[in-house]
Amino acid sequence: MDAVTVSLEVSGLAFAYPDGHQALFGVGFSIARGERVALLGPNGAGKTTLVLHLNGILTGGTGTVTVAGLPVGKRHMAEIRRRVGIVFQDPDDQLFMPTVREDVAFGPAAAGLRGTELEERVDRALALVGMAGFKDRPPHHLSFGQRRRVAVATVLAMEPEILVLDEPSSNLDPASRRELADILRSLDVTVLMVTHDLPYALELCPRALILSDGVIAADGPTAGLLADDALMRAHRLELPFGFDPRSVAATPGRP
């Protein structure tokens, strides 16, 4: 993959926790700028450990992580954390201010933005997620789906290179799930989506990685991986009853 087009490159990443548990064993992959990639795998596969390396929350193992050409490390940490935005599974983990506007403004303000520039950044981020009319509302007065969209806006306000989403469809009703999918398709950012929702991965991500026992077990078109019954069984991945990825992938407009 041409270095100019790479948003994220992970090479030989291995990591063990202080108690001796080895979570990653030489993980390696590249994601091109603008790709939407699903990170799949059973519980305990190492997905969270991997994600926490992408913006330097975890360090100290072996191997390298590079974001838009910058190695993840102390020298570039502030810029790395601006470029890699993580949206947590529970939006209440990242919404803590009295109003939506203050939550979305928090990151850019901490980075030094003030005045008109800050307000424009907040307005752009909220417009991207369809929440422009909610700027003065307390986050806790919003529905769960609306709070998740605001949580995405807090990350987009930092103008990241990569948007990492942890189980973005969890606890959403069908309408909110569809609305979030429409938003994610419209964004001009690289997306890495960690999910157990395999139909959502197929809907949004043309490519998927399967992380299993701390290694990348498969990397390819999402539809092909989900249709491989032996691969799915080997890595404890199960589709919903009656869901056939072959028929969905053949539908016009699907990845």
User: What confidence category does residue 6 fall into, taking pLDDT thresholds of 50, 70 and 90?
Assistant: very high
Domain count of the chain? 1
Query: Do strands 6-16 and 22-32 pair parallel, antiparallel, or not at all (unpaired)?
Result: antiparallel
Residues 6 or more apart in contact with residue 232 via CB below 8 angstroms: 225, 226, 238, 239
What percentage of the chain exceeds 70 in pLDDT?
A: 96
- Please, which pLDDT band fits residue 249 given cuts at 50, 70 and 90? low
How would residue 5 be classed by pLDDT, with cut points 50, 70 and 90?
Answer: confident
Average pLDDT, the chain: 93
What the block records as the tokens of 162 is 């990569």
Residue 237 placed within a domain = yes
Please state, in angstroms and rounded to a whole number, the distance separating the CA atoms of residues 122 and 108.
9
Q: What is the largest CA-CA distance in the chain?
A: 57
Report, as an integer, the average pLDDT of 19-41. Answer: 97
Res. 129: pLDDT tops 80: yes
Q: For residue range 164-200, what is the model confidence (pLDDT) as tens digits? A: 999 999 999 999 999 999 999 999 999 999 999 999 9
* Residue 255 in domain: no
At 35, the amino acid letter reads: E
Give residue 248's pLDDT: 74
Residue 254 lies in a domain: no
Q: Mean pLDDT throughout 191-211?
A: 97
Q: Which H or E run contains 211?
A: strand 207-212
Containing structural domain, residue 119: 3-249
Position 115 scores a pLDDT of 95
206 vs 18, 91, 188, 189, 201, CA distance in Å?
36, 26, 15, 15, 8
Q: Does residue 42 belong to any structural domain of this protein?
A: yes
Q: Using 50, 70 and 90 to split pLDDT, how confident is the model at 113?
A: very high
Q: Would you state the pLDDT for residue 251?
A: 47
Q: What is the pLDDT of residue 241?
A: 87
Give the pLDDT mean for 135-144: 96
Convert the pLDDT of each residue in 82-102 to its tens digit.
Answer: 999 999 999 999 999 999 999
In a domain, 228, yes or no: yes
User: CATH number, domain at 232?
Assistant: 3.40.50.300
Give CB contacts under 8 A, 24+ apart, made by 55-59.
Answer: 55/80, 55/81, 55/84, 55/86, 56/80, 56/81, 58/15
DSSP bridge pairs for 211: 216
Average pLDDT score over residue span 150-161? 96
In a domain, 65, yes or no: yes
pLDDT at 1 over 60: no
Asked if pLDDT for residue 2 goes beyond 90, the answer is: no
The answer to whether the Cα torsion of 89, 90, 96, 102 is positive or negative is positive
pLDDT of 51 higher than 70: yes
Which residue matches tokens 């417009």?
Answer: 127
Please tell me what DSSP assigns to residue 97: S
**In the predicted structure, residue 213 carries a pLDDT above the cut 70:** yes
